[in-house]
Structure 1
Amino acid sequence: MALEFTGALRYPNPRVEWLALQDEDILDPSLPIVDPHHHIWAQEGNPYGVADLAEDIGHGHRVVATVFVEAHSSYRIEGPEELKPVGETEAIEKALAARPDLADRGLCRGIVGKADLTLGGAVERVIAAHSAASPERFRGVRHLVTRDPHFPNGIALRPSPEGLLKRIDFREGLATLARHGLSFDAMLYHSQLSDLIEVARFLPELAIVLDHFGCPLGVGPYKGREDETFRQWRENIRMLAACPNVAIKMGGMGMVVTGATWHEGPRPPSSGDLARAWQPLVETAIEAFGVDRCMFESNFPVDKGMFSYPVVWNAFKRLAAGASTAEKAALFHNTAVRVYRLPIPLV
C-alpha cells in the first residue's frame, strides 16, 4: 500500500537581496551558452518577463540563445478549450515584438508550447495554431505527466491523470508530434522513468527531451531515502539512454520537490556547493547519454528561489571543468541547438 503525503509544497519566490549575498566572478565568460529551459510568466507575486530574463543573463555569462518552455501562463480567455494554451505562445511573440533588442540577443529563440496530447490525432489543430502564432520559433510540446502514488494531491504541481504515458490517445498525440518533426519535453518524476522508456521504445521516431534529470524526488516518503532513490534513478537513466531518440536536460535541482533546501540557509549556496551536490547526477547522465545528448539548463525562474543565474552557470562550468573543448561545446551549446533545431551555427 502506497504511503500518502498530501502536504502541498510551494516554490520559494526569489529574494534579490539574499541572492546578492553570493557574488562570484564569472568563470570562462567567453564560453557560448544556449539555455534550453526557462519560463516566462505573469504569476502573481513572482512575475518573470523577457526583460527579467535579460537582466539575469546580463550578469556576465555569454548566453547566445534560450528556449522558452510552457508555464501555464497567458492562456487565451475565450475560444475552444484545446486552443487556449496557444495564448502563451502568442504572448511570447508579443513580448519579443515589443523588445526587438532582446529578440536580437536570442531570447526565446525556441518555444516549447503546451498542447493536450490526449487529443490524439486531433492535436494537429493545436500544433497548427502554435505554428501559425510562432512560425520561426515553435519547436515542440510539453504536456506534464507528473504523478507519483505517494502524492495523490500533487506536490508543488497539480497531479497529472494517472498513466498518461501508457494511454493510447496520448501516444497518438506523441506520434502526431513526431510526424510534424516536433519534440516532446517530458516533465515527470523519477518513479515514472520506466513508462518513458516504454514510450521511447514504442515511438523511436519521436525526439524526446527529459527535463530536470527526470526529477528525482526528495520529499515526503522519499526524504531520507536519497541513496535508494539515486540507485533506482541511475538504473532507469541507463536504460533510457539506450534509446537514441532521447536527450536529457541537466538542471532543475533547485526545485523543492527534489528535496532542495538551499533557500533556508542564511546565505545562498556557492557554485562549488551546487557542483558538489549535483556531481553524481551529472556524471551518471553524461556517462549514460554522452555529451551529444546532454545539455545544461537553468530552469529559471523556478530555481531562482535557491540561487542566482551567474552562480548556477558557474556551477555547471565547474562540473564540466575536466571536459574537452568539444565536449563543453556540446554540453553548453551544440546539443541544445541540434535538439531544438535552432537556426544558429554550431560552435
Structure 2
Amino acid sequence: MTPHASIREAWLALTDESVLDPAQPILDAHHHLWDREESRYRTEDFIADVSRGHDVRASIYVQCRTGYRRSGPESLYPLGEVETILEWSAQTPNHPVGIVAFADLMQGDAVRDTLDGLRELAPNHVCGIRNTTAYHPDPAVRSNPRPAPDGLLRSKEFHRGAAEVARAGLTLDVWAYQTQLHEVEALARLLPELTVVINHCGGPLGVGPFRERTPADFAAWRAGLEKLAALPNTHLKIGGFGLAVFGNDYHHQPAPPDSERLARDWAPWFGVCLEAFGPTRCMLESNFPVDKGMFSYVALWNAFKRLTQALSQNDRDQLFWKTAASTYRVAFNDAVTPHALT
C-alpha cells in the first residue's frame, strides 16, 4: 500500500495561478514514472504537468522499480527499468535527459556486472544509482511501499558497492531520514571520490515521534545537514515537501495550497539547505508524481521562484538547472521544450 497522498485532478484544479517568471529555465532534478495497479504516471502524464507554463527544458528520472526484467540473470533485472523509461520517452527529448537507475549495492564488488550492463545499455542516459535506504523503526515513518531494512548505509557490502559506483563514474543518490544523516556522512567520508546526492532536503521528519516538529528536532536535522555540507563530495536536492513523512497535510485541506502558502511554509527548511550547501551544490526537484497528491506542478515551481527572488540570476540558474546538469554531467538541447511537444 502506498504511503503517498492520492492524486486528485479535480481537487488540484480548485487552485489556479499564473506562472511566475516563465522565462526561467528549469531542469527538474528528480521525478518518477510508473504504471502500477493503483496508479499510472507515464511520460505523457509528466509532460502534461511540465507543459503548464514553466520552462522545464529537461529532467532527471529516478528509479522506482518500474518495468524490471523478469527473466535472465537477476542482477540484470534493473536494466528493464531503463529500457522501459527509454521506450516510454522515445518522443520526448530531454525528458528524461538522465536516469538514476537501480543496482543492488549490497552485492558489494559483484555489483560491477549490473553497473556495466546499465552503462552499456544507455551510456548517454544512466548518470547515477539509487537504492532504497530510508529507514526508521517507527511504522508511522514510512515513505516507500517496501521500506528498507535497517543498516544498509552502515553495511560494508554497501560501502564496497558504492565504491564501484564511483569507479563507474556515476553519482550515488541517497534518500535517508534526518535520523540517518550521520550514516550518510560516514559513507561520504569513507569514499571522497564518490559524489553523494542527498535527496529531499535530507529527510526532515514531521510524523510519528516527530509530529510536533519541535525546535530540537529541527536543530538535529540542521546539524546533520551542516556536517554533510562540510564534505565537498556532497550535493543536495531541495524538494520532497509533499512527502507524507514531512508532515505537511495539504491533502486534508478543502483546496490545494497556492505558491504563497508553500513558499511561506517551506522557507525555514529551504533557507537552511541553501545556506549550508550554497547554490552550486543545491538543485531543485519536483518529486512528481509523489508530491502531486499535495500540490500542483505550477504551484511548486512558483513557490521555488518566490523563495529565490532575492538571489542573483546566476544563483537562481544554479538552483534551477546548472547544478543538476553539472552534477549528473548531462547536456541537453535547450531549444527543445515540452511546449513544442504538445
* TM-score, normalised by the number of residues in structure 1: 0.93
* C-alpha contact (below 8 Å) 1:9/1:256 kept by paired residues: no
Give, in angstroms, the shift of residue 273 of structure 1: 0.7
Query: How far apart, in 2, do the equivalents of 1:77 and 1:138 lie?
Result: 21
1:225 Cα deviation from its structure 2 partner: 3.5
* Structure 2 counterpart of 1:329: 317
Cα distance in structure 2, aligned partners of 1:126 and 1:199: 21
What is the CA–CA distance in structure 2 between the aligned matches of 1:265 and 1:21, rounded to whole Å?
Answer: 11
1:262-341 aligned at under 5 Å gives the runs 262-341=250-329
Question: Displacement of 1:43 after TM fit?
Answer: 1.8
Q: How far, CA to CA, are the matches of 1:181 and 1:345 in structure 2?
A: 23
Could you say what secondary structure the match of 1:322 adopts? coil
Secondary structure, aligned partner of 2:322 = helix
String of CA shifts for 1:128-160, please: whole Å, max 9, x gaps.
111222121000100011111223995544231
Q: Which residue of the partner structure matches residue 166 of structure 1?
A: 154
Alpha-carbon offset, residue 267 of structure 1: 0.2
CA–CA distance in structure 1, aligned partners of residues 140 and 24 of structure 2: 43
Match of 1:29 in 2: 22
Which residue, out of 48, 51, 54, partners 2:47? 54
Deviation above 4 Å: which 4+ runs of structure 1?
Answer: 152-156
Pair 1:211–1:228, CA change in 2 (3 A): same
Distance 1:156 1:112, change over 3 A: closer
Deviates more, 1:323-332 or 1:214-223: 214-223
Report if the CA contact (8 A) 2:229-2:277 is conserved: yes
Q: Identity of aligned pairs, percent?
A: 43
| 2:36 maps to 1:43 | yes
Aligned to 2:64: 71
Residue of structure 2 in register with 1:94 after alignment? 87
Kept in 1: contact 2:97–2:332 (CA 8 A) = no
Residue pair 1:218, 1:226 contacting (<8 A) in 2 also: no
Cα distance between partner residues in 1 of 2:195 and 2:331: 18
Matches within 5 A, 1:1-347: 10-97=3-90, 99=91, 102-103=92-93, 106-151=94-139, 154=142, 156-344=144-332
Moved more, 149-158 or 309-318: 149-158
Q: CA deviation at 1:345?
A: 8.0
Question: CA distance change for structure 1 residues 15 and 154 in 2, over 3 Å: closer, same or farther?
Answer: closer
Q: CA offsets, 1:200-244, max 9 Å, x none?
A: 111110001000001112111111144222110001111100001
- Report the number of matched residues: 334
- Root mean square deviation, CA, Å: 1.6
Structure-2-length-normalised TM-score = 0.94
**Secondary structure of the corresponding residue to residue 151 of structure 1:** coil
Unaligned runs of 5+ in 2: 335-342
Partner Cα distance (1:345, 1:321) in 2: 26
Offset at residue 121 of structure 1 (A): 1.2
Of the structure 1 ranges 226-235 and 302-311, higher mean CA displacement relative to structure 2 is found in: 226-235
How far apart, in 1, do the equivalents of 2:261 and 2:134 lie?
A: 28
What amino acid sits opposite 1:304 in the alignment?
K
Counterparts in 2 of 1:261 and 1:172: CA distance versus 1, 3 Å: same
Instruction: Tell me if structure 1 keeps the 8 A contact 2:142–2:245.
Output: no
